[in-house]
Structure 1
Amino acid sequence: MLTALLAVPFALALAGFLFSAWQTQSLERRYGNVGERIDIGGMRMNSVFVPAGGEVDLPPIVFIHGASGNLRDPMHAFRPALEGRADLLFLDRPGHGYSDRGGPENARPDGQARAIARLMEARGMKRAIIVGHSFGGAIAASFALEHPEKTAGLLFLAPATHPWPGGVDWYYDIAKLPVIGWLFSHIVAMPAGLTRIESGSLSVFDPNPRPPDYVDATAPALVLRPATFRNNAIDVASLLDYVRRVQPRYREIRTPTVIVTGDSDGIVYEEIHSRGLARDIAGSELVWIRNLGHKPDYIVTDLAIEAIEKIAGRDRDLQESARRAEARLAKDITDQRAAQTPLTPSAPI
């Protein structure tokens, strides 16, 4: 009797494990590596380097993706508009996409910042504007603290950089555990996560529309691969303790800085993180946009590029650009609500 009872959960666990292994291979066939894996000393980091063309007018730019992401995300948003204007480096953070995890130091933003600095050296980039979205904001801030000589400026997009109340979603805390976390990542994460790719990606953009090609172009499902899922969970679950220690040092940052955020971000507390950065980094500019969610890289891409230009020394009125963006977003939301309002039924004929 006991053997029969144990056989059911064992069979379910084995099915989950085999399903996860099969889907991992399937995802990697569908979303193969578009970058180049380069040895940076003890590990290989994956990246896409786009050299400047004949129209170069900006310093080199490094893009750091957020949690659950990979280099395809910022590349899909920015490469079409910036290609040729600067050397562009899109990278998979350690343990994400097709980059190796490396040592335990890469579970922290400062360790990942050091890995990015070594990747820049391998790519021949001495100094760059660092663009960080969401979790990538904590890494961008750490990069400026660890490598000020390599930092030409900072652009934070809906960053996660300061201590916040509460914690993180329960599955991150489970997946980071030594043994249980390994089992959870190899058995549960893939089948459960695949059911949430659609709704999860929509919620990241909310209240703004998600681009129709976003899921296929940026491959968010790659984070469901067991090793990547666990690395992502360890990153996210460890961030709060990290920023508690490092946030007081943000006042040491001395580089042109712009923070772009929205008042409708359902992923991070913009009042805490973005306003905190604006307070902590002397001379920084906060660009606050009403009706903007967690994806300014996609929803106000033009404004983000203007911010890069301003960081590079161009004369740009970002506050006026924000007002124009707000007017557009307000109209989009009004149109969306009107489209969702059911018509009054006509009288029967």
Structure 2
Amino acid sequence: IARAIIIGHSFGGAVTTAFARQHPQKTLGLVFLAPVSHPWPGGATAWYYKLTAVPVVGWLFSETIAYAAGMLRIGNATACVFSPNNVPKGYIGKASIPLVLRPPAFRANARDVARLYDYVRAASPGYREIKAPTLVISGDRDKVVYATVHSVGLEHDIPGAELVWVANLGHKPDWIAPDLVVGAIERAAGAPVDLQSMASVVESRIAGDAQGADRYPELKVPDAELAPG
């Protein structure tokens, strides 16, 4: 493949920006889905990622506790990721989600997440170098990443980037709005696709979604003073 459209979801947002900066000649376009890309106030990540990244102790945790505890919580955690949208039937099995809990994979993922904040803090000033056509799809009800930090940041920092906000969409546009994602890919390839109209269709389809409304609080950006200097 001489030139490709690179698509990144969540943590994959940071990978996508890295590819675009390191291989501009191979990058035809970029599509970001609920991405992580910028330093966020406080820089916090889940405690189990930090613990797993600790030498020796993290190995013991991942080998003895993480899989069993993760399997007990996998349904609830998945519902939170999708909230307020409904989890597609059979998603956990179809997407092979339990594979991430295998000890070696869990440790590798934990090391990546533990280092993510420092990476995006160093990398994000270079996003202005990116010249590829860029589309960003984000939901205003994302409960996993701060959309107003990352998605808005990409729109601001990458010249010509277009941000498509989708009302009542959570963290999984790849499963909840696949038609919009395909449209963004086509747009990045140069097709005359009206993404705002497509987003309106998605919004109408998911307007009544309220899965987890009483269990998963809205994700609010912490106060700016919590951010490290």
TM-score, normalised relative to structure 1:
0.59
Give the corresponding residue for 2:219. none
Tell me the distance in 2 between the aligned counterparts of 1:164 and 1:314. 34
Tell me the distance in 2 between the aligned counterparts of 1:226 and 1:321. 40
State the Cα distance separating 1:333 from its structure 2 match: 4.4
Which of 172, 180, 190 is matched with 2:67 structurally?
A: 190
State the Cα distance separating 1:331 from its structure 2 match: 3.5
Give the corresponding residue for 2:87. 210
Larger deviation: 261-270 or 213-222?
213-222
Give the corresponding residue for 2:28. 152
Give the corresponding residue for 2:5. 129
Q: State the one-letter code of the partner of 1:138.
A: A
Which of 212, 219, 228 is matched with 2:96 structurally?
A: 219
Tell me the distance in 1 between the aligned counterparts of 2:195 and 2:71. 38
* Matched length: 212
Tell me the distance in 2 between the aligned counterparts of 1:311 and 1:127. 12
Q: 1:219-259 deviations in whole A, cap 9, x for unaligned?
A: 11111111111000001110000000000000000001000
Q: Does 1:138 align with 2:31?
A: no
Q: Does 1:236 align with 2:113?
A: yes
Tell me the distance in 1 between the aligned counterparts of 2:39 and 2:179. 30
Give the corresponding residue for 2:205. 328
Which of 25, 50, 63 is matched with 1:173 structurally?
A: 50
State the Cα distance separating 1:275 from its structure 2 match: 0.2
Tell me the distance in 2 between the aligned counterparts of 1:333 and 1:177. 38
Q: 1:200-220 deviations in whole A, cap 9, x for unaligned?
A: 111110100011111111111
Identity among equivalent positions (%) equals: 53
Q: State the one-letter code of the partner of 1:158.
A: A
- Partner SS, residue 161 of structure 1: coil
Give the corresponding residue for 1:283. 160
Q: State the one-letter code of the partner of 1:184.
A: F
Question: Radius of gyration: which is bigger?
Answer: 1
Q: 1:272-322 deviations in whole A, cap 9, x for unaligned?
A: 000000000011110001100000001110011011111111111111111
Tell me the distance in 1 between the aligned counterparts of 2:147 and 2:160. 19
Q: State the one-letter code of the partner of 1:127.
A: R
Q: State the one-letter code of the partner of 2:163.
A: L
Q: Does 1:301 align with 2:191?
A: no
State the Cα distance separating 1:180 from its structure 2 match: 0.7
Tell me the distance in 1 between the aligned counterparts of 2:91 and 2:4. 27
Tell me the distance in 2 between the aligned counterparts of 1:216 and 1:224. 13
Are 2:83 and 2:210, in contact at CA under 8 Å, matched by a contact in 1?
A: no
Tell me the distance in 2 between the aligned counterparts of 1:193 and 1:251. 39
Q: State the one-letter code of the partner of 1:315.
A: P
Give the corresponding residue for 2:142. 265
- Partner SS, residue 196 of structure 1: helix
Which of 181, 190, 212 is matched with 1:313 structurally?
A: 190
State the Cα distance separating 1:187 from its structure 2 match: 1.0
- Partner SS, residue 54 of structure 2: coil
Tell me the distance in 2 between the aligned counterparts of 1:236 and 1:331. 33
Work out which structure has the larger RCO, using CA pairs closer than 8 Å and 6 or more positions apart in sequence. 2
Tell me the distance in 2 between the aligned counterparts of 1:324 and 1:194. 35
Tell me the distance in 2 between the aligned counterparts of 1:297 and 1:141. 18
Give the corresponding residue for 1:254. 131
Tell me the distance in 1 between the aligned counterparts of 2:188 and 2:103. 39
Tell me the distance in 2 between the aligned counterparts of 1:254 and 1:292. 28
Residues 324, 173 of structure 1: CA spacing in aligned structure 2 closer, same or farther, 3 A cutoff?
same
State the Cα distance separating 1:326 from its structure 2 match: 1.3
Tell me the distance in 2 between the aligned counterparts of 1:128 and 1:136. 15
Residues 224, 333 of structure 1: CA spacing in aligned structure 2 closer, same or farther, 3 A cutoff?
closer
- Partner SS, residue 260 of structure 1: strand
Q: State the one-letter code of the partner of 2:24.
A: P
Q: State the one-letter code of the partner of 1:145.
A: R
Tell me the distance in 1 between the aligned counterparts of 2:150 and 2:60. 33
